[in-house]
């Protein structure tokens, strides 16, 4: 092959690679994007995804499809993401349960929370509300802790199941403040909260959406929220840590948008910047707060990865202390 022909061939090959190679920021996106929430339609996670998917679609001028992938503790959606090309066109939205709890809780974990994904944006926290039966003579967190300590082993709390975030959040409180409470697991959150209202159990860390109607009807008494900041839908409730003088106490779920490992940095940067812009909009923050979630400023990918790692160590350590490692 002559030098001229060789140069021509290399030029053409480079052009073809440029057109068909990995996605780049300057031509991304060139087609529709699919976001797969790992929970069912109608949940707070799903509603929030649909809010920002619409904004991403407007920003990019391309359709953003929301395709729910619930099932098998999030493993259905995780498997779909791992088999997708790392090009920024397929993403999932996972919770802290998937990224920080189940890697220690499950017998077999078919993913590495740190290595298999790129955290595009961690954008909301989902705190729990500490609720008690209104017949209990307590009206603050310090009063509750004192009341429990005076009756070791005689009171109980409910949760939506062993190894779930409400269960582990209460166990985190028990260990932190050296209190003795019996655990009564239920199959779902509404049932577990209803039994607090009925007086069958003393307390629970309840999901906001399921507990707020009972709180407003006076069937539950709310004492605090488990986030480090106040929950916009019930701003009168103090953070648990603030109420007991432990500002580092936080026990929340959170939602994170993930892309496959290997997604081009330019595409990751573009998605991260758009999510940051969208989540800073006052109207978006207001809508998310109305769902019962706490909107967050979107941090850098590296900072988010560090937070997820710290949460994994925190909850993984607790799972091991409770003897639940590999139990599911």
| pLDDT tens profile 264-292 | 999 999 999 999 999 999 999 999 999 98
Question: Under a CB-based contact definition with an 8 Å cutoff, are residues 201 and 195 in contact?
Answer: yes
Residue 8 pLDDT exceeds 80: no
pLDDT at 324: 97
Pull the structure tokens for residue 168: 């582990």
The full length of the chain comes to: 328
pLDDT at 25: 62
Phi/psi of residue 286, nearest 5 degrees: -65, -45
Question: Under a CB-based contact definition with an 8 Å cutoff, are residues 296 and 289 in contact?
Answer: no
Taking residues 294-313, report their average pLDDT.
98
Taking residues 53-73, report their average pLDDT.
96
pLDDT at 73: 85
pLDDT at 13: 43
pLDDT in tens, 186-231: 988 899 999 999 999 999 999 888 899 999 999 999 999 999 999 9
Taking residues 37-65, report their average pLDDT.
96
pLDDT in tens, 147-160: 999 999 999 999 99
pLDDT at 210: 85
DSSP labels, 291-318: HT-EE-----HHHHHHHHHHHHHHHHHH
pLDDT in tens, 90-149: 999 999 999 999 999 999 999 999 999 999 999 999 999 999 999 999 999 999 999 999
Could you tell me the domains of the chain?
6-126+253-321 (3.40.190.150), 127-244 (3.40.190.10)
Burial of 62 (0-12, 13-18, 19+ CB in 10 A): middle
Q: Angle of helix 189-197 relative to helix 208-216, nearest 10 degrees? A: 30
Average pLDDT, the chain: 92
Give residue 1's pLDDT band: very low, low, confident or very high (50, 70, 90).
Answer: very low
Q: What DSSP state is assigned to residue 238?
A: P
Give residue 181's pLDDT band: very low, low, confident or very high (50, 70, 90).
Answer: very high
Residue 110 C-beta-side C-alpha neighbours within 13 Å: 12
Residue 21 pLDDT exceeds 80: no
- What is residue 133's three-state secondary structure? coil
């Amino acid at each position: 092959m002559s030098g001229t022909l060789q140069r021509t061939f290399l030029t053409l090959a480079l052009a073809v690679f440029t057109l068909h190679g990995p996605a780049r920021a300057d031509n991304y996106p060139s087609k529709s994007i699919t976001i797969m929430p790992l929970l069912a339609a109608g949940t707070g996670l799903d509603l929030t995804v649909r809010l920002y998917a619409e904004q991403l679609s407007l920003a990019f001028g391309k359709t953003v499809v929301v395709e729910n992938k619930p099932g098998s503790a999030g493993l259905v959606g995780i498997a779909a993401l791992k088999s997708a090309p790392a090009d920024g066109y397929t993403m999932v939205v996972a919770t802290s349960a998937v990224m920080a709890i189940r890697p220690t809780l499950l017998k077999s974990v078919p993913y590495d929370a740190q290595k298999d994904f790129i955290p595009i944006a961690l954008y909301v926290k989902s705190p729990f509300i500490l609720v008690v039966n209104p017949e209990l003579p307590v009206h603050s967190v310090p009063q509750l802790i004192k009341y429990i300590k005076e009756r070791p082993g005689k009171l109980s709390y409910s949760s939506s199941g062993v190894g779930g975030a409400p269960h582990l959040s209460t166990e985190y409180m028990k260990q932190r403040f050296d209190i003795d409470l019996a655990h009564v697991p239920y199959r779902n959150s509404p049932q577990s909260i209803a039994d607090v209202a009925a007086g069958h159990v003393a307390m629970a860390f309840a999901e906001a959406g399921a507990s707020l109607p009972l709180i407003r009807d006076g069937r539950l008494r709310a004492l605090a929220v488990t986030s480090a900041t106040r929950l916009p839908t019930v701003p009168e409730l103090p953070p648990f840590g603030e109420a007991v003088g432990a500002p580092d106490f936080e026990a929340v779920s959170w939602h994170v948008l993930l892309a496959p490992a290997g997604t081009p940095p330019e595409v990751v940067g573009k998605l991260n910047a758009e999510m940051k812009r969208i989540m800073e909009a006052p109207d978006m923050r207001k809508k998310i707060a109305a769902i019962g979630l706490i909107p967050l400023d979107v941090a850098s990918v590296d900072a988010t990865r560090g937070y997820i790692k710290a949460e994994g160590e925190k909850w993984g350590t607790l799972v091991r202390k409770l003897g639940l490692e590999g139990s599911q």
